[in-house]
């Protein structure tokens, strides 16, 4: 589920479904995903409070409650929010349930349990504590170039570093570099100003395009590689077979013909 566009879709949906609902109780089925608080603390923080909306910073989500305060939510690799109009048996992978006073509820579902839920009183404090960089869609071109250019490692590694820019994950890093025709192993520091600007523009283009289609890769514009990304894929520009390698320990797909060193 989770890179910036997916989180944005979950956020928007949460806002639609839950704004105005009042939390009656919180059930923590698996406390392994709690981040910095106990079940009791989370439950008493949430009890009786109304959901006002939801915000996002990179892949991190914040559910805004009335009277200040936020539930923090990270989807990890497989996290998602599920809405139940009526109570029923939770799914096997539902880890936390938020029960609302009107009888509906929301589940945090996370098969692999890499997600995290907690609460804070200040988003800024949370971001500082986690050392997250600016959100990939909020940051400006100047700041982007400044931050990227400080690192002497592979451009893909730098794009994936949430402390540099927050929100780009493995799949979108590949797409951004493919759109930019830049090899993932190029040194970030040695890229020209023009190349960095291209990456900046394509970061926006790719993330916004994916948000527009709710991360349904099949519906992405022609020329995107995400819908075919995988072993044996062909370059959407018709330049032959895509190749793969490991960067930063992550599988990386690129077109050796479009993206030269």
Partner DNA sequence: CTAGATGTTAAGGT
Partner DNA sequence: CACCTTAACATCTA
Per the document, the length of the chain is 261
Least separation in angstroms between residue 173's CB and DNA is 8
**What residues contact 211, with CB distance under 8 A and at least 6 apart?**
5, 8, 9
User: Residue 51 carries which DSSP code?
Assistant: E
Q: Is 59 in the site for DNA (CB under 7 A)?
A: yes
Residues 179-218 that bind DNA (CB under 7 A): 189
The correct pick among 13, 25, 50, 251 for binding DNA (CB under 7 A) is: 251
Q: Is 227 in the site for DNA (CB under 7 A)?
A: no
The correct pick among 6, 80, 94, 135 for binding DNA (CB under 7 A) is: 6
Q: Are 60 and 74 in contact (CB under 8 A)?
A: yes
Q: Give the alpha-carbon dihedral of 231, 235, 241, 245, to 10 degrees.
A: -50
Q: Is 112 in the site for DNA (CB under 7 A)?
A: yes
Q: Is 105 in the site for DNA (CB under 7 A)?
A: no
The answer to whether residue 87 is catalytic is no
- How many Cα atoms sit within 13 Å of 111 on the Cβ side? 4
Toward DNA, which CB reaches closer, 23 or 177? Answer: 177
CA distance 64 to 35: 17
**What residues contact 12, with CB distance under 8 A and at least 6 apart?**
54
Least separation in angstroms between residue 66's CB and DNA is 28
The answer to whether residue 41 is catalytic is no
| Interacting residues with DNA (CB under 7 A) | 1-3, 6, 32, 58-59, 74, 76-78, 92-93, 111-114, 130, 150-154, 157, 160, 162, 169-171, 189, 246-251
């Amino acid at each position: 589920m989770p890179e910036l566009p997916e989180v944005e879709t979950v956020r928007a949906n949460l806002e639609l479904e839950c704004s105005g609902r009042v939390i009656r109780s919180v059930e923590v089925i698996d406390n392994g995903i709690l981040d910095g608080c106990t079940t009791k603390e989370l439950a008493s923080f949430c009890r009786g409070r109304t959901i006002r909306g939801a915000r996002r910073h990179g892949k991190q989500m914040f559910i805004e409650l009335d009277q200040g305060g936020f539930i923090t939510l990270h989807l990890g690799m497989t996290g998602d929010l599920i809405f139940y109009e009526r109570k029923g048996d939770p799914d096997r992978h539902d880890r936390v349930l938020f029960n609302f006073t009107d009888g509906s509820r929301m589940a945090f579902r996370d098969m692999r349990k890499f997600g995290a839920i907690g609460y804070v009183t200040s988003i800024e404090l949370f971001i500082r504590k986690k050392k997250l960089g600016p959100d990939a869609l909020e940051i400006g071109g100047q700041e982007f170039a400044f931050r990227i250019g400080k690192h002497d490692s592979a451009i893909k590694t730098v794009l994936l570093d949430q402390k540099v820019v927050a929100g780009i994950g493995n799949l979108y890093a590949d797409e951004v570099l493919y759109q930019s025709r830049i090899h993932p192993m190029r040194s970030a520091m040695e890229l020209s100003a023009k190349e960095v600007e291209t990456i900046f523009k394509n970061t926006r283009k790719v993330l916004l395009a994916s948000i527009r289609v709710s991360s349904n890769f099949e519906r992405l514009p022609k020329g995107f590689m995400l819908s075919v990304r995988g072993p044996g894929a062909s370059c959407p520009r018709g330049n032959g077979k895509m190749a793969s390698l490991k960067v930063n320990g992550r599988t990386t797909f690129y077109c050796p013909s479009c993206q030269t060193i």
